[in-house]
Amino acid sequence: MAHAIEADGLVKTYPGAVRALDGLSITLGQGEILGLLGPNGAGKSTTVKILTTLIRPDAGTAAVAGHDVLRRPDRVRRVIGVVSQRSGADPEASGRDNLVLQARLYGTGGAEARRRADELLERFGLREVAARKVKTYSGGTQRRLDVALGLVHRPRVLFLDEPTTGLDPEARASMWAEIAALAGDDALAILLTTHYLDEADRLARRLAIVDRGSVVAEGTPDALKGELRGDAVHLEWGEAPEEGAVRAALGRLPGIRDVMLEGPRLSARTDDGAAAVPAVLAALDHAGFPAAAVTVARPSLDDVYLRYAGRRFAQADTAGSASATGTATEPAATGGVR
């Protein structure tokens, strides 16, 4: 059976020598949620733009539902739904009118378009606000409408580009439940881009961790975390300690590995964190760098990212946000790409 999405060696460079994609390759099966996890500026949205035929890659190949995105973009657009970062709903129209218009644009007759709109309003809990203008909706309500718009024409593949950005915790949890149901009940293939670690851990059956335009690690969340044996030990100082002295102090301790020092924060791995902490603190005290705080935790996706990308996710996300103006503008269309 063909993959719902198959991309191989995608490359994209924007003006100013901004290399957004650097040989990115992914696959997605039907009924699966693949999470593209990466900081802002990692190349996630550029990948979505290529797969939804909004831009062309400089190199590489991609197919969606068996259709080549370069040779048959028209067929790709008929089988995909897109929920981009920015809502494409008409704020001056009602939720129902937005849904009916979207259905009509796909060639659905008037009666069937209205029936489909009512079906989606019911499914996404929008019936009570169906007649109100979209500009009066809360953020969570508008995002539910955005997803409904992407499903009007019953696509085979759904693209969710940062679907919960800006939502409050309750609205995010509601959206997570809807996304999980779409893959489970509807057997949709869903490509989810996110820079939320908890969202990726919760929703994605499989993860592709993206950094600087390429996939640096891929697998199920549990498998990726399971590759990191033992516990993570995290230490903090009020200000950055002298790296050489800290590494030398820890280098004399057995069982301490994967030491990563970023400014005032240090992470390391060990088989038994609770047993190792006293020796770690004593060694640092002796070296003249007593830690202000220490925690021990089981492996997380942040630890996975640190291992493969060489930096903390939050640090990379901040750096990506600062440089995001060097990339192309995000697509504003919501729903199926026509």
Does one domain contain both 244 and 172?
no
Q: Positive or negative CA dihedral for 325, 329, 335, 336?
A: negative
Does one domain contain both 158 and 272?
no
Does one domain contain both 34 and 182?
yes
Q: What CATH number is given to the structural domain containing 277?
A: 3.30.70.980
Q: Which of 205, 224, 243 is the last residue of a domain?
A: 224
Domain-embedded: residue 327 = no
- Residue 241 pLDDT: 94
Does one domain contain both 125 and 23?
yes
Q: Which of 209, 224, 239 is the last residue of a domain?
A: 224
Does one domain contain both 128 and 58?
yes
Domain-embedded: residue 270 = yes
Query: Helix, strand, coil shares of the chain as percentages rounded to 5?
Result: 40, 25, 35
Does one domain contain both 158 and 257?
no
Q: For the segment 154-201, what is each residue's pLDDT rounded down to a tens digit?
A: 999 999 998 998 888 888 888 898 898 888 877 899 999 998 899 999
- Please state the rounded mean pLDDT for residues 247-270: 92
Report percent pLDDT > 90 for the chain: 68
Give CA–CA dist 16/128, Å, rounded.
Answer: 48
Residue with tokens 């003249």: 288
Domain-embedded: residue 154 = yes
Which amino acid appears at position 148 of this protein? A
Domain-embedded: residue 323 = no
Q: For the segment 49-107, what is each residue's pLDDT rounded down to a tens digit?
A: 999 999 999 999 999 999 999 999 999 999 999 998 888 899 999 999 999 999 999 99
Does one domain contain both 290 and 204?
no
The two structure tokens encoding residue 1: 């059976």
The two structure tokens encoding residue 123: 């499914």
Which amino acid appears at position 28 of this protein? L
Residue with tokens 């969340």: 221
Q: Positive or negative CA dihedral for 280, 282, 287, 291?
A: positive
Does one domain contain both 15 and 114?
yes
Does one domain contain both 192 and 263?
no
Does one domain contain both 36 and 175?
yes
Does one domain contain both 61 and 202?
yes
- Strands in 130-239 per DSSP E: 157-161, 189-194, 206-211, 214-219, 231-236
Question: What is the residue range of 183's domain?
Answer: 5-224
Q: Which of 195, 224, 253 is the last residue of a domain?
A: 224
- Residue 226 pLDDT: 86
When divided into structural domains, the chain yields a total of 2
Domain-embedded: residue 311 = no
The H or E element spanning position 303 is helix 301-309
Domain-embedded: residue 333 = no
- Residue 321 pLDDT: 62
More confident residue, 111 or 262: 111
Q: Positive or negative CA dihedral for 107, 111, 116, 117?
A: positive
Q: CB 243: neighbour CB atoms within 10 A?
A: 13
Q: What CATH number is given to the structural domain containing 47?
A: 3.40.50.300
Does one domain contain both 49 and 15?
yes
- Residue 158 pLDDT: 96
Q: For the segment 279-334, what is each residue's pLDDT rounded down to a tens digit?
A: 999 999 999 999 999 999 888 898 888 888 877 787 777 666 655 444 433 333 34
